[in-house]
Structure 1
């Protein structure tokens, strides 16, 4: 699962560093709380985004459900904090929100690099989740067919094909 703070880049050009720090602190804290609540591992914070893994280190048969519930929790926490954050960044600020993408499948998880070791997951499933997040609008959760298949009734409705960067074939994404 990838979650990205929308509008952040534009805000960096107009907000004081203290306000940017407070915004990122709130975003990271809310993401971490939701991810941990649903037994995920917050693997990385990447600027104004987070990368979480579910089904590691403890294997879970319902990991796709857990990831989806965590994503919904992140969106709900942000919605509850919205007025506070808008006061912090100013009412005239650009729209701010969160876009989330989730995929499910096999990854390669371990330490990579020779001189600098980095513990992370890599592979197509990670790339597809990142690209689904990039396609998600503010306030939206996009999940792949693999997540929809594993999450059952939690993902309803028709999907839409998306041309994702780096993927030759369109990828079917569903609102989560």
Structure 2
């Protein structure tokens, strides 16, 4: 929030200047593994805030927004601002448990902590054959707002069935 010539820094701290030149963030904000929603772009004025959305396979942590702030609040002699991301981050979704298949096993490197979209091949024990897909995949658990960090294993109907 801005007041003509002033910038609210916290709920109790306001920085003001006699200058009528607006402080602007001269570059577009960039966010690793995510995107900044409009209207944040180059030449946004100090106090402009926008929400962050994460790419597929990542979840949003922190306050969830970026704000254009004045980089020199002591004497306000500059016109350049910078983007403040606070504690916002787009963090990879992981499957926290190891996949398990009854009467079979995971034949390759999937384990607890596997990243989103990791796929693993299933092998059935001797005397069993596989029905359904032969892979399990770490997927995102649907959540409105994408704030969950845990994925889950999608077994795609895998079943190791005994040979009769």
TM-score bracket relative to the smaller structure: under 0.3
Using structure 1 for the length normalisation, give the TM-score: 0.25
Using structure 2 for the length normalisation, give the TM-score: 0.26
- Higher-Rg structure is 2
Normalized per residue, the structure richer in helix is: 1
Structure number with higher relative contact order (C-alpha < 8 Å, ≥ 6 residues apart): 1
